[in-house]
Amino acid sequence: MNDKDIELLEESFKKFYFDNFNLIHVPENPSQREFGFQKFNSKMSRHLSLKSDKELHLLLMEKIPSDVYCSNACYSFPNLPMNEKDWKNAELIFDIDAKDLDVSNRDKHSCVKCTECNEVALFQQSCPTCKSKKLSKITLSCNDCIIAAKDQVKKLEHILVNDFAINQNSIQVFFSGNEGFHIYVNNSEFQIVGAKERAEIVDYIMFRGVIPETFGLPKKFNNKNTSLPDFGELGWRGRLATKLFSPKSKRPQISKKIISSGYVAFQKQLDLIKNEIGVRIDPNVTVDIHRIFRLPGSLNSKSGLAKIHVNDIDNFDPYLDACFIDGDDVEVIANCPIQFSLKNKKFGPYNHETISVPKYAAVYMICKGIANHT
């Protein structure tokens, strides 16, 4: 990213924040939160204290950060080093990202950039220009990836409400600003639990570490001491019954097969279907009680899109609803081998072309590393 790129991005980000102060606020108990920010091509600044929207807005105007963060944790002394902060509690937050979902056609919306010569090309194992294998992957807008992420969000919400008895009104969903979602659980009994307990919550939600005993097949079993899951049961037993035995009429036949195949075979079957029925969250995000998260309402420097609250997950279109940069024409040199869409307009492919595009598309391509401002 060169100086002209940074100048355009800072100008665009500053205008966004000036025009959209209503979107970005400090969270509850701001004086107990740790804040952080990063500028383009600079290191992270952490352990900051902000007490009001006024202080936050002043930071946005003066520093023009590429990214703004805030802790989900509350501390007695948020601006002190980590071991002196005195952790009090933290919202439960889950991260769902399309890159973790193994979407079948993802490579069709991805390209690679050589870290040696900066050449951009369709997805492959080595640079077509210098043959280097030091490549970074770039993924552009993809509705299939967003749909897959939405499905995971809905699965997660169902489990939080039905298995953990969390009030639906306490769950907030945010588009991350790139290609995923952050799910916040506010004002719940889980705010006071530590990393160890959160790891157990993660294992449950992801269907990790499950064993046949949980589903009614002990190591030493016979026809009298087995109790395989059935339709209508709550929690994972009911979900597994739906996965294993649908349609319902096949349950007796499949149950006999599971029992006759034995414990080890059933364990392998559970391991194979883990990713199909478990929720594909990033476990490290939820377990880390000292993490700082992108602040809702702020821009994501990986895309120029905003992290915003999602009211209607089914009808939400991130490439329209989270795209706030204006449409003034900007000239860039673009090297983008695949087509992408923003605000219902298609762009690319471009091969080292000097083009004039709406500013939101220019910002998006520069953030992705596939264009430079002229």
pLDDT digits over 243-281, tens only? 999 888 888 899 989 988 989 999 999 999 988 899 999
* 95: β partners: 182
Mean pLDDT of 131-156: 91
What is the Cβ-side half-sphere exposure of residue 133, based on CA atoms within 13 angstroms?
Answer: 1
- Give domain limits for the chain: 3-100+142-204+282-325, 208-277
Concerning whether 288 is annotated as a catalytic residue, the answer is: no
Distance CA 337, CA 360 (A): 19
pLDDT digits over 130-143, tens only? 988 889 989 898 88
pLDDT digits over 209-225, tens only? 899 999 988 888 776 77
Residue 50: partners with Cβ closer than 8 Å, 6 or more residues away: 26, 30, 33, 35, 56, 59
Of 282, 288, 317, 321, which one is the catalytic site residue? 282
Q: What is the mean pLDDT of the chain?
A: 92
Confidence check: pLDDT of 318 > 80:
yes
Mean pLDDT of 29-55: 93
Mean pLDDT of 282-308: 96
Confidence check: pLDDT of 294 > 90:
yes
Mean pLDDT of 320-335: 96
CA angle 56, 365, 71 (to 5 degrees): 30
At what angle are helices 263-277 and 235-245 packed, to 10 degrees?
A: 100
- pLDDT tier, 42 (very low <50, low <70, confident <90, very high otherwise): confident
Confidence check: pLDDT of 328 > 70:
yes
Concerning whether 97 is annotated as a catalytic residue, the answer is: yes
pLDDT of residue 52: 95
Mean pLDDT of 333-347: 94
CB 342 within 8 A of CB 322: no
Mean pLDDT of 85-91: 95
- Provide the residue type at 39 as one letter: K
Concerning whether 95 is annotated as a catalytic residue, the answer is: yes
Distance CA 48, CA 6 (A): 24
- pLDDT tier, 349 (very low <50, low <70, confident <90, very high otherwise): very high
pLDDT over 90 percentage in the chain: 74
What class does CATH assign to 3-100+142-204+282-325?
Answer: alpha beta
